[in-house]
Amino acid sequence: MLTVFDYLNIAFYFAFVIGVGLYFVRKSKNTSDYFRGGGALPWWVAGSSAWMAGFSAWTFTGAAGKIYETGFYPIVLYYANLGALFVLFFATARRFRRMRVVTPLEAVRLRFGPGAQQFYTWMRLPIMVIFGGLGLNAVGVFMSAVFSVDLVTTLIFLGLVITVVSLLGGSFGVAASDFVQMLVVVMVAVVISLLAIAQPAVGGFSGLLAKLPAHHYHWSEFNRPAFIVFWFLALSLGNIIGHNSIDGSAKYLMLSTDRDARKMLIIPFFGALLGPVIWFIPSLSAAITHFDLAAQFPALPFPHEAAFLATSQSVLPKGMLGLLVCGIFAATLTTLDASLNQSAGIFTRNFYLPVINPSAPEKRLLIVSKISTGVMGLLIVGVAVVVAWLRATGRAGGLFDLITQVATSVMLPMAIPLFLGLYFKRTPSWSTWTTVLLGLTLAWFVKFRLSLGSFAWLPGFDGPYLKEETTTFYIFATLFIVAPACVGWFFFTSLFYDRAPAAYRAEVESFFARLKTPMSGAEIGDGRENVGFLVTIGNLCILYGGFIVLFALIPNSLAGRLCFLLGGGSIAVIGFLLCRIYKPKVALSATAQTGVRR
């Protein structure tokens, strides 16, 4: 499936991402630099990183398989994010930045006390490792199919690469590589989508819509309307709670002002709005041109998850399939390296520093941060291998259903008190962990003790039930049962607020005073220290874009050559513009610093 040009593309990509990590290895002078870029990244860099961290290879495997089977149905999942982004923009983003912390769980300590901080530390770390393993498994499925290599071997290799990149570069390396990789992923996806609908068997966008299987338009064949509506509402509410909880503030802590914290949402918003249109087309085209993916990918336990790859193999010019492989890996790399960075931050700043060594100097904390990044990476690889075994033996469903079920059952109870606690202050410290335990208990009850048949007496809920209906039922039933109970309990605990220690109540008042106070000029700085970082991003774009342009020399059709020329050229032009804008500011900053020293 791959040519020597594809392998050359892949080799350059891995050398590029490791090189970025090596370049930024000395950029982080303390844990603030390592975990949040010193709190001075430009909004467009943080916004790009946030959007890239919001999707992964699962978009091109698990979600692609769902699109192949059901058509536009998964668009419900993507657009359920829009409400959360609106709430972030109008209410929460500025609060996140005004917390003035290095990691989100430090804000948990300021709001709920050290006990809540430790509770979330040891609840959050295993969850991040599990989700990291699921994400790594998603990209491993894709890579294994492309290279015809054993899945476990693939997972180990990819996991080690991700760990090394995250360990070396810290948040600066993550942010820089995220921006370049965002451009690569979008460019490759756009090329594949355009070539996919241009296939004679598809016949353009109108032909695509006309030739799709009938069941792609009749969702009632696999899920009744009432279930779809409840599913969308549950996902939307769950996203609002999750994205707006203190635990989701990591990317916003990287910005210099609370105004920038709002501006950075521009990129995730348009990405969420327009991205699905691009991601869907190749998988929808595969439903027309590739009827039997099981025969094409016999080694995969869920062959429909290779729908995106199948179309790509058919339409891409020679050499670009390797670029797609890089783009798919980039989508997961940006998610997992951010997850590793945050996991290391949780351990170092929220356990090692306050519990083991409160007087640890920054140099030692930086060393501990890198060691914990490596350990977390190895744990994620282990989880990914276990998930692969479970799926191979039929003990775990498709990636689409698996991830959404785990997210709803586990993440929702964790997020509710951290969402409400950002706006309502009259609760004791134990309101957090008691709310979480109540939510987890109810989620377990819904999953293992509640049957869909118990609701057959409701209009529209009578049996028999299809597989998709059962899956979506447990998702929205979990949210509609867990969320009201947790919210009610959280507010009930406010009756005991006045009995809380005076020191705790004083800390809560201080925390909310922070949220009301905009960032001052002294806190913001003049941004000169990161101008060189922006020039570096520009140079990286020129380097990667120029490399892609060289592939226009490969013997392809004119259209194939243009794909490389225009795609790589657009990335290089963006890099050139960044250098043109920020290089003069580097010189100005150096002159100003020389004047200060004199």
What confidence tens digit (pLDDT) does each residue in 139-178 have? 787 677 667 788 888 888 888 888 887 787 777 777 888 8
Q: What's residue 598's pLDDT?
A: 45
- Reported confidence tier of residue 513, pLDDT bands at 50, 70, 90: very high
Length of the chain: 598
Helix (H) or strand (E) holding 496, with range, is none
- Reported confidence tier of residue 401, pLDDT bands at 50, 70, 90: low
Q: Is 597 a residue whose pLDDT tops 50?
A: no
CB-count exposure of residue 460 (10 Å: 0-12, 13-18, 19+): exposed
Both tokens of residue 327? Answer: 């783009």
DSSP-H helix ranges across 450-530: 467-492, 502-516, 521-524
CA distance 199 to 207: 10
CA 205 centroid distance within chain: 29
Which one is the CATH code of 4-525: 3.40.190.10, 1.20.1730.10, 3.30.70.2740, 3.10.129.10? Answer: 1.20.1730.10
pLDDT tens, position by position, 442-484: 988 988 888 888 888 877 788 788 888 888 888 888 899 999 9
Residues 71-92 have a mean pLDDT of 90
| Residue among 311, 275, 316 at smallest CA distance from 296 | 311
Q: Is 415 a residue whose pLDDT tops 70?
A: yes
- Three-state SS at 211: helix
Please tell me which residue, 402 or 535, carries the higher pLDDT value.
535
Both tokens of residue 525? Answer: 């700085």
pLDDT tens, position by position, 289-340: 998 888 888 777 778 888 998 999 899 999 898 888 888 777 777 777 777 7
- Three-state SS at 266: helix
| Residue among 583, 565, 44, 468 at smallest CA distance from 221 | 468
| Residue among 162, 109, 108, 115 at smallest CA distance from 135 | 162
Q: Is 553 a residue whose pLDDT tops 80?
A: yes
pLDDT tens, position by position, 347-390: 888 888 888 888 888 888 888 888 988 898 899 899 888 888 87
Q: What's residue 200's pLDDT?
A: 93
Q: Is 134 a residue whose pLDDT tops 70?
A: yes
Residues 527-554 have a mean pLDDT of 86
- The answer to whether 225 and 7 are in contact (CB under 8 A) is no
Residues 178-182 have a mean pLDDT of 85
| Residue among 333, 348, 352, 382 at smallest CA distance from 129 | 382
CA distance 58 to 138: 5
Q: What's residue 574's pLDDT?
A: 95
- Three-state SS at 430: coil
Helix (H) or strand (E) holding 101, with range, is none
CA distance 505 to 500: 7
Domain residue extents for the chain: 4-525
Question: What is this structure's pTM?
Answer: 0.85
DSSP-H helix ranges across 99-113: 104-112
DSSP-H helix ranges across 2-113: 4-23, 31-36, 43-53, 62-70, 75-79, 82-87, 93-98, 104-112
Q: Is 59 a residue whose pLDDT tops 70?
A: yes
Both tokens of residue 75? Answer: 């668009």
Q: What's residue 394's pLDDT?
A: 67
Q: Which residues pair with 41 in a beta bridge?
A: 255
